[in-house]
Amino acid sequence: MTVTTMNPPGTFAWIELGTTDGPGAKEFYTKLFGWDLREAPMGPEFTYYMFQVGGLDVAAMYQLMDDQLKANVPPHWMSYVAVASADEAAAKVTSLGGTVISQPFDVATHGRMALFTDPQGAHFAVWQAGDNGGIGKRGEPGCLVWNELSTTDIKAGAEFYSKLFDWTTKVMPMPGMDYTIFEREGQAQGVGGGMQSAPDSPAPPHWLPYFAVSDCDGSTALAETLGATVLMKPMDIPDTGRFAVLKDPAGATFAILKTLPMP
């Protein structure tokens, strides 16, 4: 487990659910992960919800707004990467062939953010910390533990993100595929991973968040009773742990992971 008050540039700093069913999502995730909930009103018609573990923020949620619904934005989890400057990141994204969906803007005094798609179409965001440094802990059950890119061109995707965030890459051969680990200088473990999506995959390129659990099979069964759909049944990752991929009742996709003890 890592507890932090500031997430260094190049690390995943925030994870946020946009949903069509706020009340349902609150019930589903608090029961699945044991999260506590804190409301953060941000205007007369908008409330932002913080999910917490042990009093520290680990994720957030909001109800999709009318303009997003009109644009057919589906329920989704958004992964944020910490940066020193959201404006510099936006300029760099454009120069590398990505698209700026939302120009950098201030979120009160909490920080500054921007929303992008990479050249293959995967959405992601950046967070320039102000008063809020991002998630307060990771790796513990109920907390973010991994972020994974699934894309139609992993080689091009790895090049894009390496140049944008100064990541290096390491390719790990796995049964039937190669898996790319994104690494950051000075960090012992990778910051995330990526893989080539199957040619017949119906899912567009995307970043998938993994939340740590103490029992992958038990959490999968619980998620099903709460209305989730199991997209990938629990299976082992050699030398890593056991994971499953789920879709919440509103349709947002996420994964859970029970990691093996560190040697």
How many angstroms separate the Cα of 168 from the Cα of each of 10, 101, 178? 11, 26, 16
How many C-beta neighbours within 10 Å does residue 168 have?
Answer: 12
CA 238 to chain centre: 23
CATH hierarchy code of domain 1-263? 3.10.180.10
Residues listed for the chain: 263
Tens of pLDDT, residue by residue over 27-58, are 999 999 999 999 887 777 788 999 999 999 99
Nearest in space to 177 (alpha carbons), one of 147, 210, 202, 199:
199
How many C-beta neighbours within 10 Å does residue 129 have?
Answer: 20
Nearest 5 degrees, angle CA 83-CA 154-CA 140? Answer: 55
Tens of pLDDT, residue by residue over 134-149, are 999 999 999 999 999 9
- Whole-model pTM: value is 0.94
CB 96 within 8 A of CB 89: no
Tens of pLDDT, residue by residue over 50-103, are 999 999 999 999 999 999 999 999 999 999 999 999 999 999 999 999 999 999
Contacts of 234 by beta carbon, 8 Å cutoff, 6+ apart:
216, 217, 220, 242, 243, 244
Taking the domains of the chain in order of start, what are their residue ranges? 1-263
Q: Two tokens at 8?
A: 């260094």
